[in-house]
Amino acid sequence: MEALKRQAAARALEQVEGGMKLGLGTGSTARHFVDLLGEKVRGGMNVIGVPTSEATRAQAEQCGIPLTSLDEVDRLDLTVDGADEVDPALDLIKGGGGALLREKIVAAASDRMIVIADETKWVDALGRYPLPVEVVPFGLGATRRAMETAFAAAGVSGQMVLRKGKDGHVFVTDGGHWIVDGHLGRIADAPRLAGLLNAIPGVVETGLFVGLASTVILAGASGIRVVERR
């Protein structure tokens, strides 16, 4: 599986040119891309990156990739990131690693977003993977009740689980928020659900990335498949 992820990352790297401003994704597949980009930078390629998490920042610094922030640059040429699920419309579920808010901010500030993944992430409909929803800790009960109402209005239902870290304590994002994972099974209308959830005051952001990915690179046993947004 790691070999497949690295193949997808290598194909995405072919889209990177000197002088580009890049969004650097978070997660196991994006980590391969940052590694390979670091090799290019050490070989003389001139790029600058905006990391989507503190973990990616630390990795990029270790790889010698120059970094900046969205306070210092207006737009990014390209973001390369992974996904937990991808559907045929190239809508995504992201946030399994807990970095969904920064990942979405960076993707939205980019001219293009390339998603790299192994073929197991391709699904007919989103929702088999639990949907991460980043929330403010204050008023969590009210937020969860509002989320239940939003789920019902979008025609989905399922258990909501407050994410815990490996230490058993509540998982805290880089932004100081919590994550509620919705086990929904199948999401028939991702754009509608995203809109309903984002209207809830206690919701910071959802892991539904709608209309952001321009290209998906899937690596499988039979090779690389590239899917472009229609």
Selection from 119, 125, 120 nearest residue 218 by Cα: 119
Structure tokens belonging to residue 109: 């500030």
**Residues contacting 39, CB < 8 A, separation 6+:** none
Indicate the DSSP class of residue 171: P
Separation between Cα atoms, residue 106 and residue 81, nearest integer Å:
10
**Helix, strand, coil content of the chain in percent (nearest 5):** 30, 25, 40
What pLDDT is recorded for position 1? 81
DSSP, collapsed to helix, strand or coil, labels residue 88 as: coil
Annotated catalytic residue: which of 103, 134, 205, 228? 103
The pLDDT tens digits along the chain (230 residues) read 889 999 999 999 999 999 999 999 999 999 999 999 999 999 999 999 999 999 999 999 999 999 999 999 999 999 999 999 999 999 999 999 999 999 999 999 999 999 999 999 999 999 999 999 999 999 999 999 999 999 999 999 999 999 999 999 999 999 999 999 999 999 999 999 999 999 999 999 999 999 999 999 999 989 999 999 98
Give start and end residues of each alpha helix (H) in 117-189: 140-153
What pLDDT is recorded for position 230? 81
DSSP, collapsed to helix, strand or coil, labels residue 137 as: coil
What pLDDT is recorded for position 113? 98
Separation between Cα atoms, residue 90 and residue 214, nearest integer Å:
8
| Alpha carbon 6 to chain centroid, angstroms | 17
Separation between Cα atoms, residue 22 and residue 81, nearest integer Å:
11
pTM: 0.96
> Does the annotation count 85 as an active-site position?
no
